[in-house]
Structures are given as structure tokens and as C-alpha cells.
Structure 1
């Protein structure tokens, strides 16, 4: 006997696996046999005939039926004196019991989850002993119902077929006496109060099972008497538990289908009964349990890994919700415009989450396009989009119910509303700015719907499907429909357009742009530049054509200024940040964050490598925009063969009486008027541009010295404004303008004289400005965007002298420094370039012509 026990203990795991595999195989074979006699169409009709309110009753009863199991964990923790918050106890208990119901594996899942949730603060032996006592009596409720069923069989109430399961019911009935006797004989005494409490909870639990099962039968209109089904239900449950198959799926169902068939229930109806019961008692509570599990476990797990998993989950979920909203809007529009196409095209019918009879004409078109607009708001993470989206979904749901759609469609709409609500934390933006990228995507979707309407709509016309070409009269109808069709179509377009515009405007709210205007903030900008020095572009902030964003440190002192111009949803930042370099990372982070809150994407234009890499750390892409030419002033000289031509040119102009001088501010009115005459002659009727280059503005010109060239009569023929970085190291120029009376080579003369003058002033670096697209994309592994830019550089000379500008500056440049443009990954590079063109070439004065002017020669081009 001992040898037999030893062998059994040694091979117990293998025996368990063989038993489980054998039972599973037998059940699988029986399921295949049963499935051959079941019609999917008949099964679908069984569900389709059930009223919605009855389904809701069944689901509610199922949730109530599951809830007594929470009392097990309340009793367990009370016995262990483990004080837990009620919500934590409820959530964890629901998770444990619903997951164990569906995937219990003989209670192993239940033990593992209870240990994880409750056992960490309790001594292992004490927790294990109490949990074992609890498990001993958990099945006592099933034993009670086994006794009731056995009495029904022996008293002749149940049918003879159900009586075949009496042996299983006997085994179930003997369970209560067995555990009571063994628990009494065991040294670890279990109190009678504990036994009665667990038994009472178990009876409530199994009462919930019975009530849910019979409620599902009631909803389906089952005529089978209670006394015939109860013994079958209890016997099938016992057999399913003994099979060790998770959730008794398959084993329980086979017994029930065969047993109900013997009771006169057709197999489609029996299967529908079982499915509805499992949905109400197992699957829906299990789904709720998974949500609670993510909420309970997910919070701890998320905190452990710096909230990264939560961000990933929320991001993926947000994208899924956005995609479902777009999908729903598209399907509704298609169903309204070409309902017959869903009868002809199987692939469309399979894609459709709504019912085939749900839509009729205009309301669905309106709801569909409103859903598309709502989808754009949710995709853009706009806070104001939440409630309008939910309202539109509610209207869609009402419309569906009014048209008596399938329950699957209603469930889809309800789940979509729930997902939108759950994604509300991702909606943080305070306003909606409709970007060119978003308009392009939405425009493609809307245009595609129109094309599909024409193509599929024509295809679905009577007599079209079976021919290979479209008759002329059909084309005539499409192009020149009747007056009534034209008027109704026009009205539909107007109403849809007004509705979507109203939604868009609501999403936008009161448009707010970050930062502040220059007016009233000059002193703050002065203080930053005086304290921390400026850079080659800092003086452009005084033009007043850009907004200023100020960053303050912990002491609420201005330490960084960012100059930018809004174009569509992009904030085009001009050049490097101004101020304390130590605060640049915090300033960039805050600027990006506040811009994002307001629906804007910053674009850092013509910035240094340091700023480009800093923006890259915040998820920005970057592209090289060109190179900046620099002259090392201490090394500059006109002596030697290399500068012979320039030396000769300078000497020639000076012999002719031309003079160079640097005039310090403030400038009198006469001097400013002379400069304006030169500027107007140089502009020759063109409008002033701004942003990355200066324009003729007296208050701006009064801030820095101006270099001039005068003819022999003392008349100014050329001038350039000097841009001082205030660091006694770097100097640059901005406006450089001359009249037709200026001699040939005046620009070279101006540069050379400036080099010499600044050299004498002790400056080290003369910034000649940008050579756009210079040395961009020359390496074969450069970014695709940069390779395209290189093609522009190579072949764009006919439109703009990229190469000529570089050659001019190369005559003097000792060093070339790369300049970059950094942009958000959500932005299309094409639209980034268009925004830069708009910012760079938009006039500073009102005009009615084309917004894109010509490039001018200055420090940047």
C-alpha cells in the first residue's frame, strides 16, 4: 500500500495532466459533434428576438449574483484582523473571484491572487491556514443545492433523463458532511460560527448562479420547468468542476446542451441560453474585474516604473479611441449616402459595426460628419471636445435605437462612449488649433467619402452591377441631377458645413497665443540682454513683429526670452534663446509644455546645434538649414596676395572720394530721413519683410550703431545696421541697403571696412549670417529631408542664388557653423517649410497681393 502511495505521489502531476488532457479531448470531440447540428443563423435569430430591457435585466442579475463572493474576502481579512479600506477590499475581491470563475485551474488562481492582495502583511502559516479553512467550505453552497436536486430526483419530480446524474449529485451532497466531520476531527479547530458564515455565503453565491441561469432562460422565453433543469444544472456544474477545465468551459456546456435537448429544447436555443448565462455571470464580471485589476495593480506597477507604462497605455488607448471615432463617422456617412452598396459589397458589410437597417438618409450624414469633427477634437487631445463627443455619440445611439438596430451595434456605441470617457485624462489641451496637417488628413477622408459615394453609388444603381461600363444617362444624372436632388444636396451640404464649423469654433474657444507683445516689455528684454548678453539674433526681438516668451527662475526673475511668431498651429522661434544658458533646458521645456497646452507646436528656426539637441531631447526632429559664415577678426588682414583684389577695390573707392564711417545713436531726424531715401530706393516699391531680418523701423534703428558709405558730396549711398550681441566677442549686421548711385563693389567695401573697424574695437567674431541650404544633405546617409533640400540647393539657382550667396560669403569666411530647424514629430516637414516661408516672407505692412515676396540680401540671405 505504501508503494502504491509513493508511486501515486511521484507521478501525481503526470496523472493530473493525463486526466486533464483526456477530459479536454473528450469535450472537444463532443463540441465538434454538437456544432454540426447547430445553425449559426438560427442562433443569431434567438438573440435578435430578445428585448433590450430583458438583456439588461439578465446582466444586472448576473452582477448581483457574483457579488456575494466579496463576502468571502471580507470574512478572510476580518478573521486575520487585516484592516483594509472597503474600496480596496471590494475591488480586489471582485478581481479574484471573477478571474477565478473563468480561469480558476482548481483554485490555484484564487490562492495566488489572494496571497498577492492580502497575504504580504500576514504571517505565511497563519494566512495559509485561514485560507485553507475558507476553501474547505466554499463549495458547501453547491452541496446544499445538490441535496435539493437529489431530493427532486428521488421524489420523482425530475425527469428520468435527469435522474441519470444522481451519482454526481450524491457525491456533491456528501461534501458538506465530509468537510464538517474532517474539520471537527482536525487539530486546527475551526469554530462553528466560521463554518456557518462561510456556508451561508456559499449558499448565497450558488443561489446567484441558479437565479442568473434561470433569468437568462426567462429572457429567451424558455418554457422548461424549474424542477427539470435545476438537477441538470447542478450535476453539470459538479462534472465541470471535476474536469479541472478552467471555468468548466466545454465540459459544463456539453452536458447542458445534451441534457436540454433531451428536455425538448432545440440546440440553437440551448446554446443561446448558455451563452447569455456565461456573458452575464462570467464574461461581463470578468471584464469589470480586468478593469479593476488594471486600476489596482496598474497604479502600483505604473509608479514603480516612473509612470511610463501608464503613459504608453493611455497613448495607445487614445489612438484606438480616435481611430474608432473616425471609423464610426466614415461608416455612418457611407451607409447614409450609399446604403445599397452594403448589400452588394460583402467587405463593406463586414466592416460595418452598425446594423444594415440603421441609417436612412440625411440624419446619419450629419451625425457621421459630426463624429468626424469630434474625432478630430479627441485626436487633438482638446479638453473641450469631451462632452460634445459624448453628446454626439448619445444622439447616434438614440438614432440607432430608433431604427431598431442590433444589440451588437448598440453595444459598440456604448463601449465607444465608455472608451471616450476613460480617455478623458488624455484631453489636456485648452483650445483647438486646426493645423494644416490635420486639415490635410481630414480633407483626404472627406474627399475619399465623396469619391466612394460617386463610385459605389453609381455601381449600386439598378442595372449597373452586372455591366462593365456606366451608361451616359447615369453620368448625366451624377453631373446634372434633377432640381430637387440638387436643392436637397445643397441644403445637406450647408447644414453639415454649418454644424462642423460650429463644433470647430466651440473646440477653438477663445484663441490664446503664448507669450506677450514687445510693447510694454522692452525693459524686461533689456534687463535680460544686459545681464546675460545677447546673441546674433537677439536684436531682432526689438522689431516688434514677434511675440516674446519670458522664463522666470525660482526667484521669479526673468532669465530667458524666446522670440517667436505664430503661423497656423506653429510657433516659429527665431534663432537661439536669449539669456542665461543654464536656464535654457527649463525654458525650452516650459515653452513646449505651455505651447502644447494651447494646441501649438514650436518650431526652432535657424538655431545652433546646442539648441537643436536640446529640443531633440524633448522629442523634436531636426534638419540642417544651412551654415553660418564667421570671420575671425584678429586674423583678418588685407595684406598679401589673397586680398589683393579687395585691397585694390577699397583703394579705388577711397580715391574717388567715397567714405566709410560708423555713426552712433541717437540719430537726428535729418539722418533718419537720408537713410529712408536709401532704403526706399533699395526696396524699389517692394514691401518690407520681417521676422528673421530687420526692416526699416526708426525705433529699431535707433538702438544700435549704423555704418554708412558716403559719396564725394557727402550723400549717403549705402548703409548697414550693426547687431551687437553685447558680449564684446561677436558682432553682426542686419539691414544692408544701397542706392543705384552706389559704386560697384560697395558691399565688399562695406564688409572690409566693418571688419577693420570691429577689429579695432576688440571684437573676435564677425557673423556674416546664413548661407541657406549650404552643405545640407551632401552625405549619402543624410536625412531624407536634407537630401531633398540638397536637390533644391543644386537646382534652385534659377529662382534664388543659393550658391552665389555662399560664394560671396566664402570670400571672407574662416569658419562655417551649422544651423538647424527643430520641429515636432507630429508636424509634416512640408508644412514646416511652408510656415517658415510665411513667417520669413510675410510683409510687415498690410497688402492685398501674394504673401510670398522675394528674398533680399541681408545677414541671412
Structure 2
């Protein structure tokens, strides 16, 4: 058999849907950059021009001049806003007719919005919190996905409604601030209102709206939608009021300010920057900068970020940590540190790490206390202070990169974060005795240590490419640092000699050098992202790679993995080359056959690697015939499992032909022996001598069945493949009349059967005799288990309370006998009194199981044409 190293595109891959999907996937990052980067650049350019004459000391002084009652009022409006936000969750549950205790809904909503607002990417970060909490409250993953989709859609429509009303009712107040004609703003607002009216009409008609990847959602009833719009108005107005009370006196009225606030939120989302950082501020400054003192506006924005984003996030982190701590205490055998470790969600720790990275960068470009620098001058040489200042700024950039790895639960990210935070604690003391900064870093380090077990993916941090959103986020932080630097040192005349000034009191040169280090580090990171070697390229394996996979199979207990010998599937190896996944593609489905092959400690990382590779290609990850003991690995990777059948396993130690249950097998053996049949097992070195006879039987069987060779989850008659493993044969009068290929590994614990073929004139019961004889032979050789294969769609519940998938599959199992012998196959395997073990299909969340199974069937049958043939 010749195994090609590279294959051209298959017909399936050339189909219009597949090509369109790949094109959209390839262009998605470009679209994101094309929209987000120009918005970011324009907003920051205008922001920089507006604040160039603002003094840093004035901003700090304005923060401390803010009346305490204004801060309290802002906190109260923040609380009111989060109460209004919880109505999104309540209305989603109402719409989907799900019941959860109100206290649990509010707590989940608060934590999800607090984390989502702080981190950004609300559907992902806040969605992870909702999945975590609602799953424990008994909701199904599909229901949770619908809740997240509903909330995302409702929030977008609500913000659009508030912005539209503001643009239509107060166009003149806004137009003068952003140099756009009132007529244009009125047209934009009117267009939005028309679109929203159309959505409301669809809601009244009971229609659905398309979402993504073929999914759709039924719009809520008009009554629910009206409640949702009212909640959105109250939410946006409360959030705007939290900023309004902190701002100085302005000429613009509150209704117009709410509209400006909505526009700022929308542009912040469009910029793809976490929490809209920078984009939101740029809009507010652009609108209000001409009517109020700029320093007071900026100080109000800083306080608003702390109150509306920072305080809820810290409270949510405390709530999540407390809940997980209480849950951990219930595990009696867990140590105190391990109990605390179920603790903070990795998403929360990722956000904290990101925030501390930003804080270190900002700290690096702002001046330290003169008194503390004077104290350091008495005990430390200048070189240590300069080095600490420079290195801590670079560590800040590193923490931002590491934060993404923490969100993906990488153990490499945990080690990098722990080491970086530990080093930053020391450096923060050496650079300026920053006690508050070092205290927060110490708390972050303690949280990381307590959560060690949550980061279980043994993958390289640098193996994970940074997405467009993260690159934009890093660019935003650096642009912010540049603006802050020139804002703080606006009274310092730039000279080339500043780079070489080294004095304890010379803060501007020190900050310039720190900024240079950040830019060099960011440039190196961008270069690595662009020039790094491609990982996970999907191509068919070379002969050397198949041999490497076979060596892994030999040391594993699952002989089915020998199907990798066929060479008709692509292979993805783990980073350490100790495990692999074999897979094929059809349409948008990337289908992995079986669980990862190799040590279990390499499986979790490999599953994530495969899922991410499929997602980057615009496809959906599917795992076919996975075993129940591995379902938790797929759940951690965001996949959902569906039972698709049961595999028949025979315990060889307890197998015998005695008893009434196996009377039919005894009769088959006796009858076969009377007919002159005899059993033999050919070892691989003996198979080659009989390969022509075996091929003759195979061709005869295919012709009699009016079928053709299958692939993917089944072997095909290929000389090299058949000769690689033992073959069980049945002879009559010295001539082979039936055979079955055997799959095994070097471990003598399990054997499975693959191809089973016979001559058309073979006596009835020949295959029963072959299997029984093979079982007895393997039992004599000391093997433990024999796998007869899976009975598709068997063992699914027919209870009225069973999941929808079970009921649909059950109907196919009972009514689809004319297309596939579901019941007949189960009946044949049941003759051997096996132990039935469930097998599952694990698919990306939102993927339809029937659609995935259709693609799998096409892979097995050699395309959709093969599906309509035998």
C-alpha cells in the first residue's frame, strides 16, 4: 500500500458550503482588525489631541476632590444597574420556561456580568460563569447555551433601542460634539427604530431569527420583549447615571448623555477591546471635553471604571471563591489548600492577571513617590532600582499574554504566571516600595497557588497563538501607556539625552526606557505570532508518522486504534508525541475516531488542541465512539456528549459454552464440525501466504452484498493492512471459506474483530463458529476481553422523560431496519451474552448530532453517494 504524504482537496472540501465556510473563517480576523483597529486609532488619536494640555497632577487632585456622596451615589446606581441586568437572566428563563430559585439567578447574573464587564467578550467570559453555575443548578448544556444566546441578543437589541431613541430625540445636543449633522443622526436613529419595529413584528408572529452555524432562536413573546426593553432602558440609564454623578457640570442634558453613553458602549464593543477600554473613554472625552474641564472629566472616568467595573468584579471574585470554598469543604479527604483550590474560576484568575499586567504597565510609565525614592537611595544602588522598574514593566506585558493561557487552563500558563507574579512582588518593592501593588500581587499569587489543580492542560503557553482580539487588546494597552506617559510628563521637553539620564529623581527617562522595553517586547511578540511555524496542519500522515502512531498503539489497551494503519485518516500528535488523534473531515465536521490514543495525562491537552484546530479552520469538532470514562475531558473542552450505541464486550475468563443461555452457540459449533469446518488463526507472517485466497473471498462477499469497501471507522481489504495483524480463518476440505481480521496490541488484555467475510456457499452458522472458536482460542492464550463491536443506536431510553435525542434515535433504531440492520446487528451480537458498554458522540456546543452523524456516515460510506448504496 502506498501512503501519500499530501492529498489534494476532496470533492467534499471543494463543495460550495465548505469553501464558503473556509473563506469566512479565513477572513474573520481580517474583518475584526478592519473594524476594530480603525475605530481604535481614530478614537485614540482624537483622545490624545484633546488631553495633550491636561496635567497629571490635576487629574490626581480632581480624583481626591470628588465628594464622598458622589462616590456613594455612583455605587448605588451601579447596584441598580446590576439589578436591572439580572432581568436579562430572569426573562431568558421565563422565555425558555425554566425554573431556578431567584436568589441563585441574581447571584449567577451578578457574577457573570461583573466578570464579563471587566474582562470583555461577555458571551464567552460571562457565559462560562453562567455555564458553571447553572449546570450545578441542574440545567442542561443546551438550555444554558440558549440562555447565553438570548441574553446576548437581548442586550444588543436593548442598547440599539436606547441609542436610537436618544439620537432621534436629542440629535442637536450630540451632533455638535462629534461634528456630525443632526439630520444624519436622526436618520441613523430612525433606521434603528425601524429595524427594531421589524424585530417586534417578528416576535408577535412567533418567528425565529437566525444566529450562527445554522442555529436559530425563537423570539420571545411581545410581553417578554417589552419587559426586556424596559429593563434595558433602566440598566443603561442607571449605568449612565453612575458616571453622570461623578462628572462636573455640563451643558448637555441627561437624556442626551444617555444616548452618548450608548454610542460609547457600542463603539467599545466594536473595537474588540476588553471592556471597551480606551474606546469608551475617547467617545466621552470627545463629547464632553469642550463643555467641562478635561482633567475633571478624565478623573470621573477613572473613578467610574473603579466603581462600575472594579468593585463588582472584586465582589464577584469573592462570591465565586466563597462558594467554591464551601463546596471544597464538603470533600472530606481534601486538604485545606485543595479545598480552596476549587476556588476562583480560571476565567476570574485570568481577568485578575490581565488587570495586574495593565497595572504594572501603567505603573511603569507614571512617577513614584519622591519620599520612597529617597528612602531607596539610602539602601540600594541606582542600577537595581532602574533594572527593577524596567523589568517589572516588561513583566506586565508578559502577564497580559499569560492571562489568555490561564483562561484556557494551561499548566504552562500557571507556572509562568506564578513565577512572573512572584518576581513582580519583589520588583515592585525594589523599584518604589509599592506596598499596595505588592500586596495585590501577593493575593493573586495565593489565589494561583490555591487553584493549581484547575490548570491541568499540559500544553505549551507559546503553542497557543494569540487571537485577533488579544492582539488588539495588547495594542490598546500599549497605546494607553503612551498616552498616559505623555500626559504625565507633558511639561518635560523631549531631548535625545533623556534616554541616558540615570538619577533617582529623574522619572521621565526611567518611564521612557520602560515604554521602549514594552514596545520591543510587543514587537517580538507580534513577530513570533506572524512567523511562528504553523501547528496542526491537516494533511495525511507519512509512512514514518504512521509507524510512530503504531508504536503508540502497541503500548495501549485499545486495539481498535490499529485502524490508523489504513492511512485513510489524518493524524494529530500531542506536543510531546506520546499520544495522537486520528480524524477525517467532511463538510464542516472534523471527526476524530475514538478517544485520543496514548496516556490519559496527554489526552486533555490533545482534545483541546483538536477542538481549537477545528475552530480555527471554521469547522466543528466531533469525536466518534468515545468511552464513558473520558466524558469529563470533553465537557471541560466545551463539548456535549450524546449516546449513540453500545459496544459488546465478552469477558474471556468467564466465557464457556455451558448453560442454557449459550445452547445456540453449542449447536452452531457442533453443526459446523459435522459440516467439516475447522478453525485456524494465522499470525501476521503466515497471512501473506494466503492473501490471494482471502482477497478472493472478500471480492465474492462484496459482490454478493452488492456493496463496496467502507472506510474511516472500518478497515478495508488492503493487502498491507490485512497482513499486519492476525487473521482467523475457517477451512472446509482444506480451502478457506471465511475469515476475520483481528486487531490487538502488545498488551494481552483486549482483542477486537474488524473485517468479517465469507464465501456465498459457506454453511449457515459459519461466522458464529468462527467467533466462538476465536473466543476460546484467545481465552487459552490468556487474553482478558473480546470486543465484537458496536451496535449503533441500541441501549437508548424510550422513557417519555428521556432526552429528545434519545427519543429521535430510538425511532430511527426501531423504524430504520430497511436502511440499516440495527436490530439484526444487536440480536447477532447478543447471542454471545456480552457486557454492553455505552459509546458516545461528543460534539461542539451548538452542533446538531444528526448533522454530525450524517457527516460521519458519509465518511464511512465514501461520500453521500455511498450513503444511498450498501
Class of the TM-score when normalised by the shorter of the 2 chains: 0.3 to 0.5
- TM-score, length basis structure 2: 0.44
- CA radius of gyration, larger in: 1
- TM-score, length basis structure 1: 0.44
- Greater RCO (CA < 8 Å, at least 6 residues apart): 2
